[in-house]
Amino acid sequence: MNERVRTYLVEIARSGKTITYQELSDQCKLGLVMRESEYARAEIGRILGEISVYEHENGRPLISSLVISKGDNYQGDGFYKLSEELGFGNWKKLKADISFEIGQMNACYDFWKDNTNYSKYKLK
């Protein structure tokens, strides 16, 4: 799991913001250019998927919900497909229902703004 990306996303959650895939790549120095490469899009999806699985397995909300596409401000299909794999329901229905993504985002904000959670679960 990419701890740099996870740690950065925890800080994004504490700030109550979102971040685009490209901004995340740039801030974490991943060297991925989303608009130029299918590999880059797949690689950031893989990184975020590992983090989401880790968070889910530890009873925390899907922090990758805070990463959105530039332009439409929505998560990519990979977020919803992984959510389906994790048992949240059919990915197409999840994508069509804005309450799922908003719920995950708000759960992230609430969880990570709690100083006890932050102190206990952030990676060193």
Give residue limits of the domains in the chain.
3-113
Please, what are the averages of pLDDT over each run of 10 residues along the chain (124 residues)?
96 96 96 90 95 96 93 84 96 94 96 95 76
Question: Which pLDDT value is given to residue 22?
Answer: 94
Q: What predicted TM-score, i.e. pTM, was given to this entire model?
A: 0.90
Task: Measure Cα distances from 45 to 37, 111, 113 in Å.
Answer: 13, 23, 25
Question: Which pLDDT value is given to residue 124?
Answer: 56
Question: Which pLDDT value is given to residue 69?
Answer: 86
Kindly report the three-state secondary structure assignment for every residue of the chain: CCHHHHHHHHHHHHHCCCEEHHHHHHHCCCCCCCCCCHHHHHHHHHHHHHHHHHHHHCCCCCHHHHEECCCCCCCCHHHHHHHHHCCCCCHHHHHHCHHHHHHHHHHHHHHHHCHHHHHHHCCC
Q: pLDDT of 18-37, one tens digit each?
A: 999 999 999 999 999 988 88
